[in-house]
Amino acid sequence: MPAQYEHGGERRVALVTAAAGAGIGAAIARRLADDDYDVVITDAHERRCGAFASQLADEHGREFLSMPLDVTDFDAVDAVTRAVVEKRGRIDALVNNAGWSRIEPVAEMMPDTWLRCLDVDLNGTFYAMRCVLPHMIARGSGAIVNISSIAAWETTAEHGAAYSAAKAGVLALTRVAAAENGRHGIRVNAVAPGLIYNDFLRRIYPGAFFDGYAESRSLVGRVGHPQDIADLVSFLVGERAGYITGEVYGISGGVAPNA
């Protein structure tokens, strides 16, 4: 039976933040579209946001909403959430993918770096949950996946303290929201990737971080790809993950297991 008929004849709606980049967000959006979700493409980059939604529409033969959204702007997150509910009537899945990082040692970090990182990675995740959860509660169902990072628990200088602190905060936020909302039929989980290659990361991490990573750190002899994360998110938002909530899934080729 086609998936859409299992949900009252309507397609399930998934809202993905930072979905129009070169990495994880776009792979998640594409995978959820393949899963027959009506995916709402949001991203701070307005032009790429529209272009990616058009590309998905061409690939799938149906329309996808695209809404420019900077997750650090609470009013904008609220407005986009309301617009999606108005246009589509429901939000079944929320994937908080937006992240930002600048690597500076604590002793030299500019306060603006700290604030920007907390704002995008942690506040933005909270804002989206704060706006979407009431709609999910009203419908009595929903699934949220927050994209954290193994930086949340690794003891390393590689990622910078702002990013590590923000991503650790995302885990705490995930667990408390899961505890609060299970009784409403809502599951909240986090995914913590290790190195997921994209060309942009080459520019912000030193070369030494990448050199030999596949051979000497990954237990499976390769770096991760956005599709690896998309496949896990697809499972976690779906019915087969109905007994899973409040969990954190590391996905790092075994580089930094979390248990």
Query: Does residue 154 bind ligand NAD (CB under 6 A)?
Result: no
User: What DSSP assignment string belongs to 148-213?
Assistant: --GGGT---SSS-HHHHHHHHHHHHHHHHHHHHHGGGTEEEEEEEE--B--HHHHHHS-HHHHTTI
Query: Does residue 100 bind ligand NAD (CB under 6 A)?
Result: yes
Q: Which residues are catalytic?
A: 163
Amino acid 206 reads P
What are the angstrom distances between the C-alpha of 10 and each of 36, 166, 187?
10, 36, 21
Query: Does residue 24 bind ligand NAD (CB under 6 A)?
Result: yes
Q: Considering the complex, what minimum distance in angstroms separates the CB of residue 138 from ligand NAD?
A: 25
Among 43, 25, 41, CA closest to 227: 25
**Stretch of 8-16, 17-25, 174-182, 235-243 lying at the interface with ligand NAD (CB under 6 A):** 17-25
Binding to ligand NAD by CB under 6 A, coded x per residue (else -) over 160-199, reads: ---------------------------------x-xx-x-
Which residues are 147's β-sheet partners? Answer: 191
Tell me if 67 sits within 8 A of 83, measured CB to CB.
yes
Q: Considering the complex, what minimum distance in angstroms separates the CB of residue 6 from ligand NAD?
A: 29
Among 65, 71, 102, CA closest to 84: 65
Query: By CB under 6 A, what part of segment 60-99 binds ligand NAD?
Result: 69-72, 97-99
Query: Does residue 22 bind ligand NAD (CB under 6 A)?
Result: yes
Binding residues for ligand NAD, rule: CB under 6 A, are 17-18, 20-25, 43-45, 48, 69-72, 97-100, 120, 124, 147, 149, 193, 195-196, 198, 201, 226
